[in-house]
Amino acid sequence: MKNTKFSRRKFLRTSVALGAALAAPTIIPASALGRNGTKVPSERINMGFIGLGGQGSGHLLGGAWTYMPGGYSSDPRVQVLAVCDVDKNRREKAHKRCNESYAKRLGQADYNGVKAYNDFREVLARTDIDAVLLALPYHWSAPMAAMAMEAGKDVYCEKPIAITVREGLNMVAASKRYARIYQAGTQQRSEYDGKFRTACEYIRNGRIGQLKEVYAYRSPGAFWPKHWTEEKGQPVPDGLDWNMWVGPLPWQPYPGRLPGQEIHSLITGDVNWAPHHYDVIQWMVNPDVTAPIKVWPENDAIHWRYNNGVVVHSNGYKDEKVGEIGGGVFVGTEGRIAVDREKLISYPGKILEEPLKSSDAKVYHAESHSGNFLECVRSRKPTICDPDTALYSINAVLIGGIALILQRALEWDPVKAQFNGDDEANRLLSYTPRPPWHL
């Protein structure tokens, strides 16, 4: 057994060395002291990024539709500790760029504080990570978000936040059970110079009279496993964990290219852009979220009737282009408002010319979707698109998609989270995950 006792001579030698070290000047990086606009390490939010395709790498390093110059890795409120993807090429590229970014900023050429992972469970197991950003294939969003919250992480999740009603419910239950902050990536509530927020406040305050109809410009969509095929696959490329990509879905051989987020063979309609449209639409319709919703197909469109009498149509408004890019047209008894990412207009024009009054009702105000998430991680207040809000929005898309699949009228009970008197429709609310994955 090794002798662990210090000799007197060794003790003195060590003491002298220690004394010299203490006497020498200590150089502490400005970033560790919170200088130059940075935050001290104890005030930064440690984050992991899972899913490094276009949207995920954009959030991490800066890119289109992510609304944060330089990405989270350039934000002084954040310390990126982990990146994860089942594709080795994506993973290594993001890992290299992120470490290089920190090395340049900190003046540490050998910086390696960002670690790369293939298996997301290793990221969730890290106790030093506070939050994760998920930009995943559609079928992974809700299951992984629930697992992340169970592991004690706050979650920013890109849309669609679920592809079935049941997995969305499970995600919301996890957020409440583990008291986690959650932000859905429906950025239109916060970005685009507040166009959607402004439209919402004008509509809610009766500037177009009583809201009667909404034109959504986007088909709903839903998961339909009937379309999953067992066709012969292609060899899986080196560096791609195809089994992990498939995850909870029924097994499918590798189709010859990485499908990315979209799984067209399992989706009827649209679950990609539709969540943006229907999220802001329901923000403006402002229904009783406990009241039943009638949904039916007619004239090549899907229609929803809410308890306050508003009818939403999936098609566009005649001869109106504004509304096509993430928005809609809102028709009231005294005028209408059309809004999308590029424009906000009204008919007559004087509706928007008269400013809102200080006494008018206001809605949740956030000017940065990612910033709102970081603020709420600190404050523990709900985000602008919290789990309940996100679920109600995606459920509009999914129940409309099920009506599209079945081509008949349905009545949705949001309290029971099921269709009234329709077993066939209710069977489309979930699927059995492939082992070992489960809700």
DSSP state of 71: -
User: Quick one: pLDDT at residue 39?
Assistant: 55
Q: How far apart are CA 308 and CA 202, in angstroms?
A: 17
Q: How far apart are CA 389 and CA 283, in angstroms?
A: 9
Question: Model confidence over 297-333: pLDDT tens digits?
Answer: 999 999 999 999 999 999 999 999 999 999 999 999 9
Q: How far apart are CA 35 and CA 173, in angstroms?
A: 41
How many Cα atoms are found within 13 Å in the side-chain-facing hemisphere of 326?
A: 16
User: Quick one: pLDDT at residue 34?
Assistant: 45
CA 92, 98, 104, 107 torsion-angle sign:
negative
pLDDT in tens, the chain (439 residues): 433 333 434 333 433 333 333 333 334 344 444 444 445 566 899 999 999 999 999 999 998 888 999 999 999 999 999 999 999 999 999 999 999 999 999 999 999 999 999 999 999 999 999 999 999 999 999 999 999 999 999 999 999 999 999 999 999 999 999 999 999 999 999 999 999 999 999 999 999 999 999 999 999 999 987 766 656 788 999 999 999 999 999 888 888 877 754 566 788 999 999 999 999 999 999 999 999 999 999 999 999 999 999 999 999 999 999 999 999 999 999 999 999 999 999 999 999 999 999 999 999 999 999 999 999 999 999 999 999 999 999 999 999 999 999 999 999 999 999 999 999 999 999 999 999 999 8
H helices of 185-263, in order, are 195-204, 242-246
What's the start-to-end Cα distance of the chain, in Å?
Answer: 51
Closest by alpha carbon to 347, among 339, 357, 359, 355? 339
Per CATH, the number for 193-363+387-439 is 3.30.360
| Domain 30-188 indexed as CATH 3.40.50.720 | yes
Domain ranges of the chain: 30-188, 193-363+387-439
- The strand pair at 182-184 and 115-117 is best described as unpaired
H helices of 130-261, in order, are 141-150, 165-177, 195-204, 242-246
Q: How far apart are CA 344 and CA 196, in angstroms?
A: 8
User: Quick one: pLDDT at residue 33?
Assistant: 43
User: Quick one: pLDDT at residue 391?
Assistant: 98
Is 166 exposed, middle or buried, given 0-12, 13-18 or 19+ CB atoms closer than 10 A? middle
Sequence letter at residue 111 = Y
